[in-house]
Structure 1
Amino acid sequence: MQGALSCKYSRTTGFQLNFKSFSHRIMDQYIGQVVDTVHRTGGQVRGPIPLPSKITHFTTNRSPHVDKKSREQFKRVIHKRVLYIPDPSDQTVQALQKLDEVAEVRVKMKEADGVKLSLPEAAE
């Protein structure tokens, strides 16, 4: 199984991990695993920094034909966090690549301060 953070990169300064999830508990557990992995390999971590949640409200009719006044309301909350890893070692990157993916958490790597990343294409 390929890890969640597999990429090819040329190291210059650091990289940023962006996390999005519907469940903040599962996301925080996964971020804890990432932070522990980075600390175990001797790296430094800045964050996790919580970003504003995106809240979307939906209202639908309960019945498609009658009772316009009878409606249901739903709410979807997307939680976001940012983790910055300055000057990662090769051992840190290899350990992050070996982490298992979590289906509920979307992870995106972003170059920060000149890191060149080439991520594999994600099938969605």
Structure 2
Amino acid sequence: MKITEGNKIRIKLRSYTHYLLTESCKTIINTAKTTNTKSSGTITLPTKRKIYCVLRSPHVDKDSREHFEIKSHTRIIDIYEPSSQTIDYLMKLNIPAGVDIEIKL
């Protein structure tokens, strides 16, 4: 796999828990530093909120409702001019199970 100069890797991370997300971002940036590649740090995107409204009682009280919300946090990391060694290290990373990773070359 030959990588020409000027390429970049964009890593997009999504999670419901923000502390798992920050830990995984730190590990990705540390691996980029160990292989001497340039990386633009963690870019935080706005958190998306999904609110669900549920009736407490299905038959009697229509006015009694509960609201639940799910927050999804997203971060972006750019790695400029990656070498084959950085790609190998990124593929071997141990990322927690609650983090979704999307990589674009």
The alignment's TM-score, normalised by the length of structure 2, stands at 0.91
Question: Per-residue deviation at 1:10?
Answer: 4.5
Q: Could you tell me which amino acid in structure 2 is paired with residue 44 of structure 1?
A: K
Where do 5+ consecutive residues of structure 1 fail to align? 1-8, 112-124
Aligned residues: 103
Question: Per-residue deviation at 1:101?
Answer: 3.2
Alpha-carbon separation, structure 1, partners of 2:35 and 2:74: 25
Cα deviation 1:44-79 (Å, max 9, x = unaligned): 210210011111111100122221111110111111
Secondary structure of the equivalent of 2:87?
Answer: helix
Deviation above 3 Å: which 4+ runs of structure 1?
A: none
Work out which of the residue numbers 87, 92, 96 in structure 2 matches 1:98. Answer: 92
Work out which of the residue numbers 21, 27, 46 in structure 2 matches 1:27. Answer: 21
Counterparts in 2 of 1:88 and 1:66: CA distance versus 1, 3 Å? same
Q: Pairwise CA RMSD of aligned residues?
A: 1.2
Alpha-carbon separation, structure 2, partners of 1:96 and 1:25: 20
Q: Give me the identity figure in percent.
A: 33
Where do 5+ consecutive residues of structure 2 fail to align? none
